[in-house]
Chain A
Amino acid sequence: MDVNLVPLLPAAQVLLAALLVMLLDLFLPDHEKPLLAWITIFGLALCAVDAVLLWGSREGSFGETFLLDNFSLFFTQLFVGAATLTVLSSVRYVREAGIHQGEFYSLILFATAGMMVMAAANDLIVFFLGLETMSVAVYVLTGIWRSSGRASEAAMKYFLMGSFATGFLLYGIALIYGATGTTNLTQVSAYLLEPQEQWPRYLSVGGLLLLVGFAFKVGAVPFHFWIPDVYEGAPTPVTGFMSVAVKAAAFAAWARILMHQLSPLDSDWAYAVRVLAIATMTFGNLLAISQSSVKRMLAYSSIAHAGYILIGIVAGEEWGSTSVLFYLATYVPVTFGAFAVITALTEKDRPKEEYGHFAGLGFKRPFLAMAMTLFMLSLAGFPPLAGFTGKFHIFRSAIAAGYTDLAIIGVLNSLLSLIYYLRVIVMMYMSEGGVQGKSLAESPSLYVAVGLATVATIYLGILPSRAVEWSRVAYSTLF
């Protein structure tokens, strides 16, 4: 067995940073704890630099079960970006809320490392390891605000539903192993080149179980029930982290495993994914309309956006792959930015996340409101913002692949989504009243996070070419 350690470098750096944070946490006095945030960001930044330097290389480790290629590096950048924004937006939040800072930052890092393993895994068992590393860390993060009853409930719910989904995945993996005699995805896909008549029946059952497991993880309807409660209950920065990074990680694994390596099984689930996409978009949007809490609305909107991404997956790896990756890249800053604005409004023991709490924000906190406006318009798909270019590429791939009907359903859904995204703007600029109290989480670093997300939202909207090209290159290295 080869022991090429280069592919592990980015993930190992993040893990080392996590250990360092845990260790230092023991020795630092309370008032110096915020230093841990900067160590976390430093570790993430190192990892990002590495990922940039390694771009273009393709190395495997442990018998090609762990691959460092452009695909995993692309997602590494997304995860690092999401984790950095999370840390920036929670520096003050965790301190004021009385959350243990050492645990918080190290768990973010552990989860990020798990995601990186998921994106790089070329073996079902390695993928599972990454998934569990990420999931366990995020379960704990959800409930880390121990004095909040809502958070504990959410953590419990998330844990139960997550384990359920994990069960599906494990069953699927077991069946695929039983049929093919291997968990290595390259070998599995080699096996799938054999004529279909020789496959055991249960192979496609295994594929479908994997599909269900993934659908749980990305929150596709009808496997979405955990999302609203968990997103609402978790501390807001964690919600942001979950809704962008965890979702991106699940889609990364979906793209590498289902879309690429197991693509011969397509015929079994193509129709199912199509139904999933339509149901996810439509129900996500319809349910988002009736919410009274912005945080919960964003939870449903994240379901709807998973639906748009599924359109790209239906379009298939030849047409849709680039658009799926690019959509995720646009989705990360926009959605995280929206959650960061909600974080900024939080008051001690009083979440300020109802629509009413946004009233008059436009003229009380002009910067936050302007950023939130951009995020909402971007999520609704207004040009020239990131959300529009993302949707444009998704619809383009669907039409090119001959799924014009899906594109039409997609745009009709965008129309539905206007109703609730614009409501936030109506509140901020066209209503009076709203929050008066002192914010718990507002801090310069939070503003930096919102600012970075804003810049990315505008940049990816006006000059998307480079990111689209990266997405294309990232996926094409899978071949």
Chain B
Amino acid sequence: MSPLPGDISLLLLLPLIGALVLLLVPRQQRQILFTLALLASIAAFVWSLRLFQAFDAGSGQMQFVEKIPWMPAFGIGYIVGIDGISLFLVLLTTFLMPLAIAASWTVQDRIKEYLVFMLVLETGMLGAFVALDLFLFYVFWEVMLVPMYFLIGVWGGTRRIYAALKFVVYTMAGSLPMLVAIIYLASRYAHVNQAMTFDVMQLYSLRLPVNEQIWLFLAFGLSFAIKVPLFPFHTWLPDAHVEAPTAGSVILAGVLLKMGTYGFLRFAIPLFPDAAAVFTPLIIALAVIGIIYGACVAMMQPDLKKLVAYSSVSHLGFVMLGLFALNIQGIQGGIYQMVSHGLSTGALFLLVGMLYDRRHTRMISDFGGLWRQLPLFSVAFLIVTFASIGLPGLNGFIGEFLILLGAFSLTPGWAAAAASGVILGAIYMLWMFRRVFFGPVTHPENQTLLDLNSRELLILIPVIALIVIMGVYPQPFLSRMKTSVDVSLQRIQNSKAAPVATNHAAGREINTDGR
């Protein structure tokens, strides 16, 4: 074991070190606090770019793997690694975080704690994406809950305490059964192989009888489905989004929701492939219902933030549809859509936040005719709206197209229904855009609004640039995903072919042997 942290550990440590340094800075030094937090998050981004550059696109295996025993007696280790699936989610996280911090400039009180929580949150999210040990994954999964709870609860809107509690209770209601399932799985592994392990790579090789898989898949799946959120587990999302501060919404929609879909792809499906096959029709149905339901509800929202929140339900339904198509196009499209949803919805929340900073309202009816007053802002908003709709040439199109392609080969009927979600998406987004930006200026307050300042431009330009790049030149992204997706699919096939472990309640047998 080398004394220096490995590549990924360093990535995890950078924001954490930033948070620790921030704790030492006196709270009056607003400028310094911001600069340090930005520097820490930018450092993490730069370092993740280096990982991206060093990443071997030809290999679908885990790369930069680090393995350190943590609680060896129970087979728990600090195991981290990145493959083509997690690489982009890591990049998305490190990319959005500096922007979210920069967008928090307007936060006035208790800025020190705010920034500390943001950086801890970043470490938690990155950790969950790179963890290859179920225990470690669970730790990070829970760790990111706490800072988010505080971000919503302290810096949120009027109903923030309710929203924060709902967010935590929903998430914990999912994750606690998952903890039992994780321990059960490790005990089952011990039952077959005489030693406990939480190492995902080794657990992949364990194939349990279908009836046990179903319970375990339900426990994992509930946790992930709440996070996605899959219809009908989505009710926490609008509350959390509406009450969260802008940066909180950006991170929540941009990254946290992807934890759920990532969890399905990395853990629930490959660990329990037979159960996943059993549940596929149900999940596809729920995903498509979510797509259409989310879009319909979004259409009727008077509040911009709520509209974007429900559009997330709809878009994440697409991701789920792609993942459970369980073919190369579907999964690739799902991952692509995760990243592009992170960018476009993140950008939408940033824009809504900027509008809120100016007018202190998010009601669509309070606006109208902003186009003439805020030309730059309107153009940015338009591009992001188009990206969100999935206009060809922007990032949203590639993901949705691949997903529908993958889904059509599996269930043409559901895929056709999902495709109508694209149309609904165009309707509610463009209708919203028309009401906010076109027409006469109905409220005199809107006539004095200022256009984007340089800080806001600096935040938006990178996002919009990436939205365009991902739309016109998807190859560098797709090629890095492809081999990893192939490997994942292969893994699912392999474990479906593996012999089934004997059907016994875990441990009972060893128990009697031991006596």
Contacts and interface: CB of A to CB of B under 8 A. Distances in A.
Contacts of A407: 180, 183-184
B505 A402 contact: yes
Interface in B174-223: 176-177, 179-180, 183-184, 186-187, 190
Contacts of B74: 396
A402 B172 contact: no
A411 B179 contact: yes
Interface stretch (A110-118, A242-250, A299-307, A462-470): A462-470
A408 B146 contact: no
Interface in B400-456: none
B507 A384 contact: no
B155 to A, nearest CB: 10
Interface stretch (A11-19, A30-38, A52-60, A415-423): A415-423
- Determine chain B's interface SS by DSSP, over half rule: helix
Nearest to A416: B169
B173 interface: yes
A400 interface: yes
Contact of A399 (B110, B142, B507, B515): B507
Contacts of A419: 165, 169
B183 A395 contact: yes
Contacts, number: 100
A139 B216 CA distance: 49
B145 A395 contact: no
Contact of B184 (A399, A418, A426): A399
A469 B74 CA distance: 11
B177 A408 contact: yes
A395 B71 contact: no
Most chain B CB atoms below 10 A, which of A396, A465, A468, A469: A396
B468 interface: no
Given A395-B180, A422-B165, A429-B150, A400 B172 contact: no
A195 to B, nearest CB: 17
B282 interface: no
B168 interface: yes
Nearest to B69: A465
Contact of B506 (A377, A388, A400): A400
B508 interface: yes
B138 interface: yes
B508 A415 contact: no
A414 interface: yes
B152 to A, nearest CB: 10
B354 interface: no
Given A382-B146, A465-B73, A418 B180 contact: no
B385 to A, nearest CB: 34
A47 B160 CA distance: 50
A49 interface: no
Nearest to A465: B71
Contacts of A377: 146
Contact of B511 (A318, A392, A422): A318
Contact of B507 (A319, A395, A429, A469): A319
A160 interface: no
Given A414-B176, A415-B169, A399 B70 contact: no
Given A396-B74, A399-B506, A430 B161 contact: yes
B132 to A, nearest CB: 17
Interface in A171-205: none
A430 B157 CA distance: 11
A430 B160 contact: yes
B342 interface: no
A407 B186 CA distance: 14
A422 to B, nearest CB: 6
B511 A401 contact: yes
A426 B163 CA distance: 12
B179 A418 contact: no
B180 A465 contact: no
A9 interface: no
- Determine chain A's interface SS by DSSP, over half rule: helix
A426 B176 contact: no
B33 to A, nearest CB: 15
B36 interface: no
Given A412-B176, A429-B150, A464-B71, A399 B183 contact: yes
Contacts of B172: 414-415, 418
B171 to A, nearest CB: 10
A196 B135 CA distance: 43
A465 B72 contact: yes
Contacts of B110: 363
A414 B186 CA distance: 21
A404 interface: yes
Contacts of A444: none
A28 to B, nearest CB: 42
A344 B200 CA distance: 45
B126 to A, nearest CB: 15
B514 A318 contact: yes
Given A363-B110, A384-B139, A465 B70 contact: yes
B180 A404 contact: yes
Given A402-B505, A414-B176, A418-B172, A429 B184 contact: no
B114 to A, nearest CB: 11
A215 B154 CA distance: 41
A383 B138 contact: yes
A392 B142 contact: no
Contacts of A425: 149, 153
Contacts of A401: 507-508, 511
B143 interface: yes
Contacts of A465: 70-73
B506 A468 contact: no
A179 B183 CA distance: 42
A209 B138 CA distance: 42
Nearest to A366: B113
Nearest to A408: B180
Contacts of B179: 392, 395, 411
B176 A383 contact: no
Given A318-B515, A415-B172, A418-B168, A430 B183 contact: no
Nearest to A393: B74
B92 to A, nearest CB: 24
Contacts of B143: 382-384
A392 B196 CA distance: 14
Given A318-B511, A407-B183, A418 B161 contact: no
B183 A392 contact: yes
Contacts of B161: 426, 430
Interface in A363-407: 363, 377, 382-384, 388, 392, 395-396, 399-402, 404, 407
Nearest to B74: A396
Contacts of A426: 153, 161, 164-165
Interface in B60-77: 70-74
Contacts of A464: 71
Contacts of B70: 465
Contacts of A411: 176-177, 179-180
A382 B172 CA distance: 10
B328 to A, nearest CB: 35
A400 B146 contact: no
Contacts of B164: 426, 430
Interface in A200-248: none
B506 A404 contact: yes
A384 B149 CA distance: 16
A388 B143 CA distance: 11
7 contacts: A388-B142, A395-B180, A399-B506, A411-B176, A415-B172, A426-B161, A465-B70
Given A415-B173, A418-B168, A426-B161, 10 more contacts: A318-B511, A383-B138, A383-B142, A383-B143, A411-B179, A411-B180, A414-B172, A418-B172, A419-B165, A429-B154
Closest 3 CB pairs of A and B: A411-B176, A383-B139, A402-B508
